[in-house]
Each structure stands twice: as structure tokens, then as C-alpha cells.
Structure 1
Amino acid sequence: MATTVTSKGQVTIPKPVREHLGIVPGSKVEFRCAADGSIVIEKADTREPSRFAKLVGIVGPGLSTEEIMAITRGD
């Protein structure tokens, strides 16, 4: 299936592809490069991440075990 790119860089996703992926007006799609160099289009996962998932990785490495033990012992 071929489609034409507009001057704004837009393309129309063919109806059979939209139906197969469940894409409806307002849906979000993701494009990614596959290992073989091809481009894959997928319906984006729009579920809201949990409140805990949003916090992953924002605190930093934290204290080492030795540092925690020193604080605990009052060193």
C-alpha cells in the first residue's frame, strides 16, 4: 500500500491498516525503527502510568549501605 506525503509531511494511513490497528480519530500512534531498518507503526498505549511508575528514577542513586549503617550507628 502506497500513500503520498503532503507538503506538511502528513500521510493518510490506509483504512485497512487503521482497522487492523484499531486506530480511530483521536488515536495516538507510535513510529519506531526495527532492528532490520524498517519502520513500524503501532497504536500508542495511552493508559496512564501508575503514580509509582511516574516516580521511578527521579530520586537518584541514594545512599550506599555503608552510609546508611554509619547514620544508623551515629558515626
Structure 2
Amino acid sequence: MAKIEIYTRPGCGYCTHAKRLLTNKGLDYVEYDVYENPMYIQELQQRTTGRTYPQIFIEELSVGGFTELLENEQFNLLKK
């Protein structure tokens, strides 16, 4: 199973949609809430130039946000 990581912030509708999509696909992920733990912001800045939420990584590679995750799902790239 692919290692999936998602950086989120409270109140982010796209974050909620991304987590729901992953859960509905039966995929496990690690969530990093940047408000609960601000050190994740610095970590995120070192990993990607993306500045919107969510920021999603699959196998250490930046996928982007919810829109890009949805595109990957439509092309069946998200597999268990």
C-alpha cells in the first residue's frame, strides 16, 4: 500500500474532501494538522512550493491538493 501523507488545516473544505476520498477508497493516510502542530508548516515548506491546503504526498512525491488528488483518482492511480 502506498504511503500517503496529507497536510491540513481546520476549516478547510478541500481538506475534508480529500480525506473523505481517501477514506472511501479504503486508503490509509497520515494527517499533519498545521494548526495543531505549527512545526509542520516548516516541514511542508521544505517539501513543496505549494501553499494551499491540503498538500498531499504519495510515496514522498508531492501530488498537490484536492483537485490533483481527484485527477489521480479519476485516472485510477490511487490504488490500495
Common fold by TM > 0.5: no
Q: Which has the higher contact order (CA 8 A, sep 6+)?
A: 2
Q: Of the two, which has the highest radius of gyration? A: 1
Q: TM bucket by the smaller chain?
A: under 0.3
- Structure with more strand by fraction: 2
